Amino acid sequence: MPLITWRDADGREISANVASGTNLMRAACDAGVQGIHGDCGGALACATCHVATDPAWAERLGPPGPLEDEMLEMVDGERTPTSRLSCQILAHEDLEGLILIVPPGA
């Protein structure tokens, strides 16, 4: 179970060990991360689980798929080159230490 950290705009962090195969939107909601809402339940239909990553992690996670990329156009706040929807990232051991940034205003 990799340790994943979510950091908000004020620098507060919440970390949780996440079971492999769990999407990181669900894990964030379970951990009480403010700003991650997951209104669609992870169905790739709302963009309320927007996060950004460090560029080094973005490369390891890979680019968003076509539907995710389309949904990222609708995020509240600023889309960055490392923006992802956390519902589309599944936990696995190689993500140990991943830090996800919850954008301001999320």
Structure token digits, residue 92: 């696995």
User: What's the domain range around 29?
Assistant: 3-101
> How many separate domains does the chain show?
1
pLDDT tens series, the chain, 106 aa? 999 999 998 899 999 999 999 999 999 999 999 999 999 999 999 999 999 998 889 989 999 999 999 999 998 888 999 999 999 999 999 999 999 999 987 6
Is 17 strand, coil or helix?
Answer: strand
CATH number, domain of 8, equals 3.10.20.30
* b (16+ CB within 10 A) / e for 70-88: ebbeebeeebbebbbbbbb
Structure token digits, residue 69: 């990329």
> Which residue is listed with tokens 């669900």?
26
13 is a domain residue = yes
106 is a domain residue = no
Report the alpha-carbon distance of residue 60 to residue 63 in Å, rounded: 9
pTM of the model: 0.92
